[in-house]
Structure 1
Amino acid sequence: MRLTGALDTLLDRTIVPGYSRIGYVVRRTWWSDDVPDGALAGRTVAVTGANSGLGAATTLGLARLGASVRMLCRDTARGEQARADVLAACPGADVEVEECDLSDLKSVRAVAARLRDALPGLRGVVHNAGVLPPERTETAAGHELTVATHVLGPHLLTAELRPLLVADGDARVVFVSSGGMYTQPLRIDDPEYRRGDYNGTKAYARTKRMQVVLAGLWAQRLAGLGASVHAMHPGWADTPGITDSLPGFARVVGPILRSADEGADTAVWLVGAPAPGRTTGLFWQDRAPRPTSYLPFTVTSEADAERLWDYCAEATGLA
């Protein structure tokens, strides 16, 4: 076990082996807690950004565990195609497409209301939807697009679905973050990236840091209510998020990129396995908890974390 732990840490710290398919393949050999098919029968999970990449792979993984999955998609036509692909791979699965643009708070409230009307409870919410714009863009409500999609939308959706999560009794909320967040501190002094020259990759990493901090805050608020909250990062997976948004990076590491299913594995496991329900507020990769910071300047103080909560509450109208 000590040797395995040392190897796991080495993979994590050296980044390229740990984040690539190499890390997944090596770590897969020592996992002993696979979730059996049917483990989520009778339970419902909502997945945002489910029309492609990690979201579609997460939907398929959950469907194979017997879950009913609500695919929350901005583009419902692409969502329906993804649904058809899931049904082809998992005949008889219960998957439905719901229109939802995470960057639009009205859209978030609308889908949450529909789900509250239709469902008695919700086993999980996987906050997967993501964007990486090349230039600074604002939503109709005046919020920078990455923070609206990665932070404000998920925050509001979690709040709106809280009654369903509590009703389940063993619910899981999962924020799909990114290893890129290790490069950025919590910029609560400039959450909307109004200062300096805008950089899409940096904006993405900043909001992924926010997600990890927000997951910890939600874990505190839902503690003792039958819902655990976690963040995870999928490593480097062969998905549109990398191949379309970072084509140069994708060309370099293409041969060792993970498949979408491999990237989604930990998110599916966090929703389906018993062990994650006994903890909360952790940051995971390849089914193991990871540090949230390696560099001193990226460590978040409790005061700044609470400032993030206040910002999210005010921006989403929950204050």
Structure 2
Amino acid sequence: MSRALRPLLPVVDTLLDRAVVPGYSKLGYALRRSWWDADLPADALLGHCVVVTGANSGLGRATAAGAARLGATVRMLCRDLGRGQRAREEILADCPDATVVVDECDLSSLKSVRAAAARLRDELPSLRGLVHNAGVMPPERTETDDGHELTVATHVLGPHLLTAELQPLLAADSDARVVFVSSGGMYTSRLRTDDPEFHEGTYGGAAAYARTKRMQVVLAQLWAQRLPGVGVHAMHPGWAGTPGITDSLPRFARLVGPILRSAEQGADTAVWLLGAPAAGRTSGLFWHDRRPRPTSYLPFTRSTPQEAERLWDYCAVATRG
């Protein structure tokens, strides 16, 4: 792109973001990519380990594959070992020299999270990246064996506990990163610390999803304050043609199908955050297409520091062993 046009790029980028449809689609990705700096070097993660949850399909598999292409040893945390192994074989077909290991872990189960974290601590000297990608959108309110609503257990409590359990490994790497894969849908929701598990009102899968994705963004900010030296970020992938959209929101997927991003395009920023120097120099930001974004556009969705701390207290109590 010509040097004369570069001053206009922030304006164009902001317009794409505020317009939503072009910015979240593959059109926005293609346009922004044309003005990005060079991609990360092929050995950006060589010699380092990255953990990706929900890595058997969609954005998780694309993130795991992207990290493997950058030289990382990848630990795929999957609830279904069979699906995880099939995803591993697909990644190795593309990156035959990569080291990819499948670990069993159900993020909605505190017992399963603790067991997976213990195995990782026993087997790894350090951890460069932890990507919280596992996600669900149940059609009706469901509780886990721990007694927590399934969406908040998978998106918030499991990631919170896993981050806490893997702190020693993250601290052992001089440039560690933690990435929460959120959603642009969180812009429609405020932080609900008064009813985090959707006991009140009429339950809806999309509403619960948006609530917990808002929680993830705030939780990333809280962990950024508590993990000095670690780049902790949240990001959203835009609209990608993954099971999270095609299976859970079929009408929406049919409506915007021609402009949905690929899983690789949706996962691009998560992979970039694992290796980009800019992501190591900052912490607590919310990213989309390799740029920090506002966490709120509407006044009613802004949370106070007191509400954020109540979220931390809720997570601490709910995940206490």
Residue aligning to 2:3: none
- Paired position in structure 2 for 1:257: 260
Corresponding residue for residue 20 of structure 1: 25
Deviations 1:83-129 (A, max 9, x none): 00000011111000000000000000000000000000000100000
Out of 171, 175, 183, the residue aligned to residue 176 of structure 2 is: 171
Aligned residues: 316
Deviation per CA, 1:185-213, whole angstroms, max 9, x where unpaired? 00000000000110100000000000000
Aligned partner of 2:81: which letter?
A: T
Q: Does 1:284 align with 2:292?
A: no
Aligned to 1:64: 69
Structure 1 match to 2:244: 241
Deviation at 1:2, TM superposition (A): 3.0
2:52 aligns to what?
47
Matches within 5 A, 1:1-319: 1-223=6-228, 226-317=229-320
Task: State the distance in 2 between where 1:92 and 1:67 align.
Answer: 11
* CA distance in 2: counterparts of 1:274 and 1:42, whole angstroms: 17
CA distance in 2, matches of 1:59, 1:175: 14
Mean Cα displacement is larger for which, 30-39 or 288-297?
30-39
Deviates more, 1:52-61 or 1:1-10: 1-10
The CA RMSD over aligned residues, in Å, is 0.6
Counterpart CA distance in 2 for 1:133 and 1:266 is 26
**Percent identity over the alignment?**
74
Where 1:168 maps in the other structure, the secondary structure is coil
> Is the CA contact (8 Å cut-off) linking 1:34 and 1:273 kept in structure 2?
no
Q: Following TM superposition, where does structure 1 have runs of at least 4 consecutive aligned residues deviating by more than 2 angstroms?
A: none
1:261 partner letter: E
Please report the TM-score for the alignment, with normalisation by the length of structure 1: 0.98
Counterpart residue identity of residue 46, structure 1? V
1:33 CA displacement:
4.0
> What are structure 1's unaligned runs of at least 5 residues?
none
CA distance in 1, matches of 2:144, 2:193: 19
CA distance in 2, matches of 1:142, 1:300: 26
